[in-house]
Amino acid sequence: MQRTITALGALLVVLLILAGAVFHWTVNRVYVPEGQSLMLRYKGPLVFGARRQAKTGHWAEEGEIGILAKLRGPGRHFYCPVWWERTKVPDVILKPGEVGLVTCKLGNDLPGGAFLVAGDIGSTSYKGILRKVLHPGRYRINPYGYEVEVVTSQVFVSGKGQKLAGWVEIPTGYVGVVTNMADNPATDTKKGVQDKVLPPGIYPINGREQQIDVVEIGYRNTTILATKLRDAQGVLIVDDAGEPQIAKDSKGIEFPSSDGFEIHMDFTAIWGLMPDQAPHAIRTIGNVEAVENKIVAPQIESICRNNGSKYKAVELLVGTDREKFQDENVEQFQRVLDEKEITLLYGLIRHIYIPREVRKPIQTAFIADELKLTREQEQLTAKEEGAFKEAEKQVDLERRRVQVDTTRLVESKKASGNRQAEGIRAETEKLAAAIQKETAELLAQAREIEGKAEFSGKQMVEEAKAGRFKLAVEAFGSPAAYNNWIFATGLPEDIQLNLLYAGQGTLWTDLDRTGGSFGVRATLPLESGKK
């Protein structure tokens, strides 16, 4: 009985464990796929424990009822639905060319009417728009606390042109002038147009924090032309002097001269904005088109009209006064643009249209003067041509003279060279004969000296030999002793001498003791009684 109870208890425990495991892997388990995250809200205890509510407008801390700030990533998670509310949320994906503007919905209110929040997602303390934007990529963001607005580009129209935000692209040849919409304590920058510009590139810009003016830099030209008359085919209408006719409703530069004639003028200015000048233009005038329409073109017309009215029509046509008028306009135009921080490269008066009644007499007189100068020049030309031909003849004569002189000098030098060569040859032969004679004399002397030297050498050798014999005989005491020494030195080194005593007629009988050979040993007989 006891065993049955124990077995039943064990079985019950096993069943409870299996039931708990099944409940845990079926009810509690939640699977989060790739590209999603799990947002959790704690519901609080059912019966036991204190129910602590999260602070309104803030994330729930551990043990507090509310939504947790941290998201759970892809994978298996186990949270009981009795205590937890589980919600799958998709990741925020930003493609290239898109920017994410983030608004924090939880936290304290910003002080002093500010609306921009510093910091990153998950580390903010205030509600409002985050200064930082999200670049292209994938982000795990809790939608309960943060709202993301995906934008490509934003255009803000103002009285000074269009300002851009979002995905801002600044092409080559342009700069970005930054306008701060609020102060930024982190970078110590104030609200308004900033002096530092953005170089060419791509920038993700928060339109609530900054706005960008894309400004073209470098030089451009502004040309103001008088309106000329044309026929139905569009061909320019000119007068008998070839001067274009100006339309009555011309929109170019027009002013009266000091003597009352109506003057029209064409003008071209080469000007531009440099990178350091762009912020001032945006701050005070506007974009490049505004600079051209509000400053450059009006100043050209105003300066040319004011200065041109000081001159007579004839002064604007010829003479140094026209050059003076050009210099005055350019200098005054330069000063105005410098004050506006605009760079002027060059200013040019292209043409001044003078009325025909003023131009015709002056042109006629000018043509007459030119004709007179032409005739004088033609006379000078004819005179110079005559002088040129005379010079050509002189040159030809001088050329021939030089040829004759050159031929004569060549022949003279050639003859002189031949004479010198013959003299050198004769002198050489004379010197050669003298050298041969001297050589023969030296050879004869050499032969004579050689004969004497040979005779003296032989004589000295013979005298030396005789002296040697004399000295040798004197050294041995007598000629017989010397001869014996010569004989002894001529004997072979291996000779054996046997001294035998033999009497009268006993020499041959004693030969057997010598070995019977005189070729090896020599036996000398000794007289009886001598040793």
Instruction: Please name which of 263, 239, 261, 244 lies closest in space to residue 253, comparing C-alpha atoms.
Output: 263
Amino acid 82: pLDDT: 85
**The pLDDT value given to residue 519:** 44
Q: What is the mean pLDDT of the chain?
A: 84
Instruction: State residue 527's pLDDT score.
Output: 42
Give residue limits of the domains in the chain. Answer: 2-90, 92-216, 220-354, 370-476, 491-526
Domain 220-354 has CATH 3.30.479.30: yes
- What per-residue confidence (pLDDT) applies to 501? 52
**Whole-model pTM?**
0.61
CB-count burial class (<10 Å; 0-12, 13-18, 19+) for 243: middle
Name residues of the chain where pLDDT drops below 70: 20, 24, 47-49, 362-363, 365-366, 369, 491, 493-531
Of 47, 85, 81, nearest in space to 65 by CA: 85
- Contact 227/252 with Cβ under 8 angstroms? yes
What SS3 class is residue 150?
Answer: strand
The span from the CA of 342 to the CA of 296, in Å, is 9
- SS3 readout for 37-58: EEEEEECCCCCCCCCEECCCCC
Residue 467: predicted pLDDT: 75
Tokens read off for 64: 């507090």
Helices vs. strands in the chain: H and E counts, helices first: 7, 24
Q: Let me know: does 266 contact 304? Beta carbons within 8 Å.
A: no
**Residue 205: its pLDDT value, please?**
94
Whether the CA torsion 101, 107, 113, 118 is positive or negative: it is negative
Q: Where is 270: in which H helix or E strand?
A: strand 262-273
Q: pLDDT tens digit string along 318-377?
A: 778 888 999 999 999 999 999 999 999 999 998 888 887 777 776 676 677 677 788 888
d(Cα 468, Cα 117) in Å, to the nearest integer? 138
- CB contact at 8 A, 381 and 308: no
Report whether 230 contacts 237 (CB < 8 A): yes
Distance CA 267, CA 253 (A): 8
